[in-house]
Structure 1
Amino acid sequence: MKKSAIIGLITIAISVGFLLTLNADTNTYSDFTQATTRGGEQHVVGVWDKSQPIHYDAMVDANKFTFFMEDQSGVVSKVIYKGTKPQDFEKSEKLVLVGEMREGTFYANKILMKCPSKYNDQLVEINVDGTVNENSTK
């Protein structure tokens, strides 16, 4: 075989492998029940349960925010977020949590908030350090 043919086959194989990994990495939204059974990192959609207390004390632990969320199937679970309380958390309409369920509690690494807007919906991504990811707003 010619050298150029071998290089071409290797390039095609790498491209196919890359496309397969992209396809395998797509996540669908879960609820708390599915997050418990599937394990690993999950994306759970829901709304903040305003009837339950929230806890954030920057003087004690600035990187721990605790609240309760109701998922799309109506299950309420405690959420512990390792980061500062997101700005305008109380104004969010919908939440997407990225993290994992352990022992009945959801440990979130990231919180995506759907904020109300007069003209359009925005999905704001809050990083662990409390900053807003500029690329996440639509």
Structure 2
Amino acid sequence: MKKSYILALLMVIGAVCLVYFSSDQEVARYRSFAEASTTGTSVKLVGTLVKDKPMDYNPLENPDLFSFYLKDEQGTERRVNLTQAKPQDFEMSESIVLSGKMVGEEFLATDIQMKCPSKYKDEESMIKELTES
């Protein structure tokens, strides 16, 4: 076999291994507050904003600290301290994905992703009602 074929084969094998191992690190299941407490390491968790509890953000005092309460998928509520500014339209989010770890009884979040309601949701329900009647 030619050296160029062997080199090309090794490069393909290396690329496949690189993709496999890098994607394995990105795909992580969501944890609950209870699981985050036991691991002691950084985890991802998903939940919903507890709208009847206070949200604290004072950009004059500390622009990189925003605190709120989140309910995880198991129904546990905890205070979250986000080390970023308060996201725009935060109150309208349907679900929130956080990366961070538990510090005592509070979750220290370093990253946030929000799922906001679709602007087409009302239109979809109206179209569904029209087609059913």
Relative to the length of structure 1, the TM-score reads 0.76
1:24 paired with 2:24, answer yes
1:49 to 1:7, Cα distance in 2 relative to 1, 3 A: same
Tell me which protein shows more helix as a share of its residues.
2
SS in 2 for 1:109: strand
Match of 1:71 in 2: 72
Structure 2 portions without partners, runs of 5+: 122-133
* Residue identity matched to 1:63: D
Q: TM-score, normalised by structure 2?
A: 0.78
Aligned to 2:11: 11
After superposition, give the CA deviation of every residue in 1:42-65 in whole Å (9 maximum; x if it has no partner): 221111112321111111001100
Give the fraction of aligned pairs with identical amino acids, expressed as a percent.
Answer: 37
d(CA) in 2 for partners of 1:12, 1:90: 47
Please name the residue that 1:56 is paired with: 57
CA distance in 1, matches of 2:2, 2:58: 67
Distance 2:82 2:70 in 1: 12
Which stretches in structure 1 are left out of the alignment for 5+ residues?
121-138
Count of residues in correspondence between the two structures: 120
Larger radius of gyration: 2
Corresponding residue for 1:80? Answer: 81
Q: 1:77-129 CA deviation, whole Å, 9 max, x = no partner?
A: 11111111111111222111122222222111222112223414xxxxxxxxx
4+ residue segments displaced more than 6 Å = none
Correspondence for 2:113: 112
Query: Residue 40 of structure 1: CA displacement?
Result: 2.7
SS in 1 for 2:41: coil
Q: Equivalent residue of 2:56, what SS?
A: coil
